[in-house]
Amino acid sequence: MKNYGEKYGHFEMNQISGQWRRWLAPIIILIVALSIPAMGSALWLKVFTSVAIYTITALGISLLYRRLGQVSLAHVALMGCGGWVTLRLSHAFHLPFEFQLFAGGVFTAIVGMVLAYPALRMRGLYLALVTLMAAGGFSILIGIIQFPNGGDGFAGYAITAITHMERPYLAQSDEAFFVYCIMIAVLAYALVYAHEHAKPGRAWALIRRSEASAMAAGINVTFYKVWGFALSGFLAGIAGGLLAGSLQFLDARSFPVGESVMIFALTVVGGAWHWFGAIIAALLFRLMPALLNDWGVSGDAAFIFFGAALMHALATAPKGIAGQIAGLASRLMKSGDRHD
């Protein structure tokens, strides 16, 4: 009886220890992120704010890739859609920032649902080409109508007068807005986590394995595919609204087609199968070029590294940098447990 009690107690302690280990990394990353305003200059604070924003975009891309096996090369364009709506509502109605942000996310979710319909009949390269064409179409359209800047009319664009967008009441300074973006990113992770551990997540897992099996099991494949694209689009729209709030204006040149391709590639390199892969992707996308420029090297040199990293990920590390880090951490923990 004593031996049983000791074994049961040991098992319970290991279970508690495992739960603490699972939450330890997110807590450490959050603490480090929140301490950045006290450590960095205004320039680097802007860079890390951009990292927080693009983490949300990469999270939406990884959701589609991981759960549905779908490739979307239009997420930077979707950010532009969310940013456009957020700016327009801000200049036209001066609504609370959170309402504008949510409205931009909802609008982009609807656009994501439209993009989902080609995904019902195609996937892989063909879907990638369709979404890339959509990104190209957005680039042309936004070059014509421009982003709202306080002007009159539907587009709200004026050539001579530029009005900056208002930030949230509690996040007027760059430091406060950075913390604001971190909190929104945490909520985005919570939203994805809730979906993945509920009925949509189970449906997506079965759809990715076999659509025929999913339909045989009574799953509405069309509905859950559209839902996945809507959620991914919503996250991109939220990121676009935050980018508008960070810069307080947007320019049509800020959303080139190539960036949509690049952020997807870096999401694969970072590791779409692990939660912190989106953070790694955003760091590569925004922090690395800034570091190279600071070291006197052209930021475009980062593309050479990105290309090599993508080839490495596809050839030898399909789960990306995050997968390699997680594997190493797992081996170290098992080694420590054996020594105990």
Do residues 30 and 168 lie in contact, with contact meaning Cβ atoms separated by under 8 Å? no
Assess if residue 22 is contained within a domain. no
Assess if residue 172 is contained within a domain. yes
- Number of structural domains, the chain? 1
Q: How many helices (H) and strands (E) does the chain have?
A: 15, 0
Tokens describing residue 170:
């509690």
Q: What CATH code is carried by the domain that includes residue 146? A: 1.10.3470
Q: Which among 191, 196, 217 has a CA at the least distance from the CA of 206?
A: 217
Assess if residue 184 is contained within a domain. yes
Domain that holds residue 122: 41-339
Assess if residue 9 is contained within a domain. no
Give start and end residues of each alpha helix (H) in the chain. Answer: 2-34, 36-39, 42-63, 75-93, 97-119, 125-145, 174-196, 199-209, 211-216, 221-247, 257-270, 277-282, 288-294, 302-315, 320-339
Assess if residue 3 is contained within a domain. no
Do residues 50 and 210 lie in contact, with contact meaning Cβ atoms separated by under 8 Å? no
pTM of the model: 0.89
DSSP 3-state assignment of 245?
A: helix
Element (H, E) at 277: helix 277-282
Instruction: Determine the Cα–Cα distance for residues 290 and 58; give it in Å rounded to an integer.
Output: 19
Assess if residue 54 is contained within a domain. yes
Tokens describing residue 117:
């319909």
Assess if residue 28 is contained within a domain. no
Do residues 237 and 85 lie in contact, with contact meaning Cβ atoms separated by under 8 Å? yes
**Per-residue tens of pLDDT for the chain, all 340 residues:** 445 454 444 444 444 455 556 667 778 778 878 888 877 688 889 999 999 999 999 999 999 998 888 888 999 999 999 999 999 999 888 889 999 999 999 999 999 999 888 777 766 677 788 888 889 999 999 989 999 988 888 888 888 767 788 899 889 999 999 999 999 999 999 999 999 999 999 999 898 888 888 888 889 988 999 999 999 999 999 999 999 999 998 988 888 888 888 999 899 888 888 888 899 999 999 988 888 888 877 767 777 777 777 777 767 777 788 888 877 777 776 665 555 5
Do residues 4 and 12 lie in contact, with contact meaning Cβ atoms separated by under 8 Å? no
Assess if residue 84 is contained within a domain. yes
